[in-house]
Amino acid sequence: MSGDFQPDVVAFCCRHCAYAAADLAGGSRQSYPSAIKIVELPCTGRIDVVNVLHAFEDGADGVLIAGCLSGKCHYLKGNLYARQRVDYLRALLNEIGLDGERLRMVNISAAMGIRFAELAGEHVERVRSLGPNPLRRTTKQGAPA
């Protein structure tokens, strides 16, 4: 594994909590790694299994799903459905040959900017230690291994 490996981690963030927290982190200079590429959604419940699979198929090294705290989802149960899908996906990723650990779901509130930065940083490090997405050599031309 090359020491130059810069992971790409797609972070699906719900507008009402996680995205706001990320925004807060950015605004108050709580840095989180540039590896994190944020995708804003109305709710983590919007995420389908295929969305995560396509992210990995397109070369993402890791995926982070950030939603509201349990019981506080703006759409009531969206984050709970997301959690169920994440459990399903982690097992599926293992069957595919990608480590299920590359996918994580976290729950935070809009006020938790520092926490968002911490969790994002933790997941990037986790993904870094897992190494590049083995599909990179087949999906991205000339991408560094």
Partner 1 sequence: MIVAETKPLEAVARMVQGYDRVLAVGCGTCVTVCFSGGRKEVATLAASLRMKRGIEGKPLQVDEAIVQRQCEWEYIDPLADQVRQYDAVLSLGCGVGVQALAQRFPGTRVLPALDTLFMGMPSEQGVWEERCQACGACILDKTGGICPVSRCAKQLFNGPCGGSRNGRCEVDAQVLCAWHLIWERAEALGMTDALMELEPPKDWSTSRDGGPRRMLRDDLRVPREEEGDE
Q: Is 76 in the site for partner 1 (CB under 8 A)?
A: no
Instruction: Tell me the CA distances in angstroms from 90 to 60, 61, 63, one per residue in order.
Output: 15, 14, 11
Q: Is 92 in the site for partner 1 (CB under 8 A)?
A: yes
State the minimum distance, in angstroms, from the CB of residue 118 to partner 1: 30
Q: How far apart, in whole angstroms, are the C-alpha atoms of residue 116 and residue 139?
A: 30
Q: Which of 89, 19, 17, 21 is nearest to 51 (CA)?
A: 89
Site for partner 1 in 25-54 (CB under 8 A): 48-50, 53-54
Q: Which of 111, 134, 143, 145 binds partner 1 (CB under 8 A)?
A: 134
Q: Is 99 in the site for partner 1 (CB under 8 A)?
A: no
* Look-up of token digits 């890791």: 62
How many residues make contact with partner 1 (CB under 8 A)?
A: 16
The DSSP-derived string for 22-82 is: HHHHHHTT----TTEEEEEES-GGG--HHHHHHHHHTT-SEEEEEEPPTT-BTTBSHHHHH
State the minimum distance, in angstroms, from the CB of residue 98 to partner 1: 7
Nearer of residues 22 and 127 to partner 1, judged by Cβ: 127
Q: Which of 29, 97, 141, 142 binds partner 1 (CB under 8 A)?
A: 97
Task: Write out the residues near partner 1 by the rule CB under 8 A.
Answer: 48-50, 53-54, 56-57, 92, 95-98, 134-135, 138-139
